[in-house]
Amino acid sequence: MTRLILATRNAGKITELRSILATAGLPHDLIGAESYPDIPDVKETGITFAENALLKAHALAQATGLPAVADDSGLCVDVLNGAPGIFSARWSGTHGDDQANLNLLLAQLSDIADEHRAAHFACAAALALPDGTERVVEGRLKGVLRHTPTGTNGFGYDPILQPEGDTRTCAELTAEEKNAISHRGKAFRALVPVVRELLG
């Protein structure tokens, strides 16, 4: 069985990708980066989601000698010309402070009318092999931004993005409902044929 390493220590992401690969019938043993605690986190110096995903995947593939999968994702707001984008996790200045990021974004959009609150979640998922071979695929979830957060599921900007065709925010969806339509779900599912092509 081919081992695949996922460039995250987030247990939720590992579970999600395991489920997608298993559903697709791929016999790959997926392990998280926590199995290699000596490998430092990679600085995300790219200017696109794809560049950052590839940076992380290549670094892990080189360090472990295993095929590596990485993703980078964020929220892109139309009226902000695609921001916060790659800066989504540190929009407020502190990396990973979901509440501060959410509060700042809502404050910045406080005067923006409903018809101009279009946004989408974007995700780039990359596969890199130790020999330097690389592939990257992308997924999107389009929607509109609410004025106030609603729901307690998910994380990040989930409480304010209402997917197209739904009346609920991403934070009001079950994990199964969200995975079926999410940017990350779409990107990882698009990665399945790539894994099959390169790894068998």
Residues with catalytic function:
72
| The two structure tokens encoding residue 196 | 């099959």
CA distance linking residue 13 with residue 30, whole number of Å: 11
| The two structure tokens encoding residue 194 | 């790539």
CA distance linking residue 83 with residue 87, whole number of Å: 7
| The two structure tokens encoding residue 4 | 């695949």
Torsion of CA 195, 54, 9, 145, to 10 degrees: -100
CA distance linking residue 74 with residue 72, whole number of Å: 7
CA proximity to 6, closest of 34, 33, 27: 33
Backbone angles phi, psi at 88, to 5 degrees: -55, -45
CA distance linking residue 36 with residue 60, whole number of Å: 9
183-199 helix and 11-23 helix, angle to the nearest 10 degrees: 60
